[in-house]
Structure 1
Amino acid sequence: MSTVQTWVADFAAREQGLTGAGIPWLAAMRKRAIERFADEGWPTTKHESWRHTSLASLEQQQFLPAAQSSVADLASRIKAGEAGHWLVFVDGRFAPDLSDIGVLPPGAQVLPLSGALADSPESVQGLFGAETQGASTVALNLALASDGAVIRLERGVALEKPVHIVFIAASQQAASFPRNLIQAGAASQAVIVEHYVGQGSGASLTNAVTRAELAADAHITHLKLQQEDEQAFHLGTIDVVQAKSSVYNSHSMSFGARLARHDIATDFTGDHCETLLNGLYYVNGRRHVDHHTLIGHSRPHGVSREYYRGILADTARGVFGGRILVAPGADKTDAVQRSDSLLLSRMAKADARPELEIYADDVKCAHGATVGQIDENSLFYLRTRGLDEASARRVLTYAFAAEAVSRIEPEALRRRVVTAIRSLVPDGAELGEFA
């Protein structure tokens, strides 16, 4: 039996037990989604956007039901006394004992998707998405998703503390399908952190989808920090729609998983929209990470900035495919796209494909990509200042990453990313005096 048939059979066995199984619109959509996945199967390297990323190793895996695992200590370390509204999920299921949503201002809602589907399913129907959107992996998520986070902000609501959505992969060979829904009303503001971690979960699968709608003048900062186990598989999709004068700042930090794929797209449906897509990844061993982005400048006066940086060691591989689409009539568009990769080994490999597709005349757009090793002149300079070669390489590696990290606000989130980088770079703890 092929893995596609396995997932179809798994859906048939689990369908009636999924959260919201009795909701007519959701049940019908799930059926259409699994039919689409059965028809298309997993994306292959024959698909242009997956040309450099094969899911063959994922298809060979057999995933098991989640087991009961104690993750209280790990959840406590992740929180580390940091203020915020916390939702914690273990193997894709909401863990109320580990969560602490706290007090929210009037007009703000933060709750698990399972709770929203149980209490007011009509409130999430419009944002849930459709089975025709995204790759076939997104359709599989829709078919099997039964939990995730729902964040709704009414007009003018501003959250003072970040919303932390923590997904812990705790069971060996388990698969989870989180679906997060964000609805930001006019002139609302929030910082949202998606954090994916593993606890000895081996070759687990996380297939996550986050959908967001930003009304006029809304301002959302979104940090995704991916730190799952080295044998894990992570397929992540972020789909954003922006209305007039809204601002969406995305920071995608990928530091874990045997294979990680991140698809990030935002569409400007109003004038004067702004977005920042900022990414950083570190891969070593034989690990593979792929970022694919799409910024749709559909209206005039849009501003987008896209910067991705990758650090690659051993025989690892990094892929970046970025596309900026400027539609007819999207005059005064201002867009910059850049991808830079640092190779720490001769066997590491980076593929970059930045694209500009422009159908308007009065625009200012630029793109570029670099792939290289540590600069020998910079290395020599640090050696003359008394550093040994290993320490000098460490400093230059961190300096390369620091440019991406410096764009992250607020400071507490930046510190969280810095800690993650130091845990990855050999002897990274010694970088403290250079941070």
Structure 2
Amino acid sequence: MDKLAGQSIIDALLEQFNDFEKGLNGQSKSSIHSVRRNAFEILKGNGFPAPKDEEYKFTNFTKAIEKNINFNTPDKANSVSADSISSVKIENLDAYNCVFINGQFIADLSDKIDEKGLTVSTFETATKDNTETLSGYFGKQADAEKDAFIALNTAFSQNGFFIQVEDNAVIDKPIALHFLGDSSQNQSIYNVRNVVVVGKSAQVTIIEKFDTIGDEKSFTNVVNEIFVDKNANAKYFKIENDTKGAYHMSNVAVAQERDSTFTANTIALDGAMVRNNLEIKLNGEGCEAYMNGLYLLNGKTHVDNHTVVDHIEPNSYSNELYKGILNDKSKGVFNGKIFVRQEAQKTNAFQSNKNILLTNDATVNTKPQLEIWADDVKCSHGCTTGQLDKDALFYLQARGIRKEHARAILLNAFASDVIENLEIEALQRYVEDIISKRLEV
């Protein structure tokens, strides 16, 4: 029998999973843990993505973490100062700020959330106090069979949030989840599981921000399951701005019901290797889904964005725009799939991926895909890859603007439509400042 891909990782996790089970005490026999245990069996049976796996064709994440991450690294106490946390927060962001260090929620450094129609608890607390409700959502949208990193996350699910928004509740203030990895002494390795349930005709905005401090390498594996009920509106923002030694895996699985709207904004700014999987199922008529992405890469950073939009019922709409700016020896990957099922007549679905390569050593692999079984639809997809417009650059320089500043102006203009979609002014300014500082030498 051939050795499974990532077998050394699985071997290292066997004892950890046994210890994890023992620490659950009475919870080890709960319905929640049966989902965990099943996921771990799936992981042991299937292994991690192999080099020939089509979904990971351009991103050998298994090899990267086998080589760089020691899964036998012992847990360590969190020693991150309040000043370190403040340094990675987004300036002037008006939100409920919730801080996690190496995956663990730190209440003393977080805002207290007390708003009518909104319930926020840690995942661990929900498994004990709200087991029946959580069981109705946990593992229902993020499929452990489909992706080994979902299986890994599910097996060790303990950290993260369970967020519930009641029917008709409008939560005006965003919930900002700050995930900080402490790699100052040892490697930081953690899983995060967030389950977000948005009730009928409710509204909520979730912001996730990932940073790492320290010189050691890190591995973060996060899974979000988001359920958007009828006529609800949910917005999800993700900003990943890690260190050069950070390996980041993300899976966001979304289920939308009739007449609901979901918006995802994914910004990747730094890290060693980053993989963002976004899958949205439009389960009812009248659904709208918007996906915006920007990856601004330098050095040897590798970012892979994989998206799936599944139109299941008629009269739904999706619009996807991802843009990349790649410098030095960085590498970008984009694979976007749109499925239009036979029953999904009157579907409008649009997808676009555009990239600018600033050096000859930067590369991008892009593959937009459409699979349509319905005949009364309007669908399009496309991709472009090129360099900065030399005439526009010359025009700006001829008016006395330094080359580096002129380049930053043009790249800000290129990214402007994605940045405008961020809507929140503090987020827009944060991304614009990074573009300017990184590109204007």
Q: Same fold (TM over 0.5)?
A: yes
Aligned position for 2:174: 162
Secondary structure in structure 1 of the residue aligned to 2:244: coil
Aligned position for 1:114: 124
Q: Report the number of matched residues.
A: 426
Alignment partners' CA distance in 2, 1:156 and 1:395:
43
Find out whether 1:32 has 2:43 as its counterpart.
no
* Structure 2 letter corresponding to 1:326: V
Deviation at 1:17, TM superposition (A): 2.2
Alignment partners' CA distance in 1, 2:437 and 2:193:
29
Alignment partners' CA distance in 1, 2:25 and 2:250:
21
2:66 to 59, 83, 107: 59
Aligned position for 2:17: 11
Aligned position for 2:133: 123
Aligned position for 1:244: 258
Say if 1:19 and 1:114, in contact at 8 Å, map to a contact too: no
Say if 2:237 and 2:266, in contact at 8 Å, map to a contact too: yes
Say if 1:174 and 1:201, in contact at 8 Å, map to a contact too: no
Aligned position for 1:44: 50
Say if 2:323 and 2:418, in contact at 8 Å, map to a contact too: yes
Q: Which moved more, 1:168-177 or 1:264-273?
A: 168-177
Find out whether 1:376 has 2:376 as its counterpart.
no
User: Following superposition of structure 1 onto structure 2, how do residues 67-216 of structure 1 map, counting pairs within 5 Å?
Assistant: 67=76, 68-77=78-87, 78=89, 80=91, 82-105=93-116, 107-129=117-139, 132-171=144-183, 172-200=186-214, 202-216=216-230
2:325 to 271, 286, 311: 311
Alignment partners' CA distance in 2, 1:322 and 1:19:
43
Residues 178-198 of structure 1, C-alpha deviation per residue, up to 9 Å, x if partnerless?
Answer: 000110001100111011111
* Structure 2 letter corresponding to 1:26: I
C-alpha spacing 1:7/1:112, structure 2 compared with 1 (3 Å): same
Aligned position for 2:355: 341
* Structure 2 letter corresponding to 1:117: T
Alignment partners' CA distance in 1, 2:430 and 2:394:
31
Deviation at 1:80, TM superposition (A): 4.3
Say if 2:321 and 2:351, in contact at 8 Å, map to a contact too: yes
Alignment partners' CA distance in 2, 1:267 and 1:20:
35
Structure 2: stretches of 5+ with no match in the other structure: 1-6
Say if 2:42 and 2:145, in contact at 8 Å, map to a contact too: no
C-alpha spacing 1:44/1:421, structure 2 compared with 1 (3 Å): farther
* Structure 2 letter corresponding to 1:372: G
Alignment partners' CA distance in 1, 2:435 and 2:172:
27
Secondary structure in structure 2 of the residue aligned to 1:4: helix
Say if 1:169 and 1:201, in contact at 8 Å, map to a contact too: no
Structure 1: stretches of 5+ with no match in the other structure: 428-435
Say if 1:20 and 1:146, in contact at 8 Å, map to a contact too: no
Alignment partners' CA distance in 1, 2:244 and 2:27:
34
Residues 218-238 of structure 1, C-alpha deviation per residue, up to 9 Å, x if partnerless?
Answer: 001110011111111000000
Residues 51-110 of structure 1, C-alpha deviation per residue, up to 9 Å, x if partnerless?
Answer: 0001212112214233222231132341645322222111011111111133312x2112
C-alpha spacing 1:351/1:19, structure 2 compared with 1 (3 Å): farther
* Structure 1 letter corresponding to 2:194: N
Find out whether 1:22 has 2:32 as its counterpart.
no
Say if 1:214 and 1:246, in contact at 8 Å, map to a contact too: yes
Deviation at 1:20, TM superposition (A): 7.8
Residues 146-166 of structure 1, C-alpha deviation per residue, up to 9 Å, x if partnerless?
Answer: 010111111110011100111
* Structure 2 letter corresponding to 1:42: F
Alignment partners' CA distance in 2, 1:182 and 1:133:
21
Say if 1:204 and 1:233, in contact at 8 Å, map to a contact too: yes
Deviation at 1:330, TM superposition (A): 0.6
Aligned position for 1:431: none
Deviation at 1:212, TM superposition (A): 0.5
Alignment partners' CA distance in 2, 1:134 and 1:418:
36
Deviation at 1:408, TM superposition (A): 1.2
Aligned residues: CA RMSD? 1.7
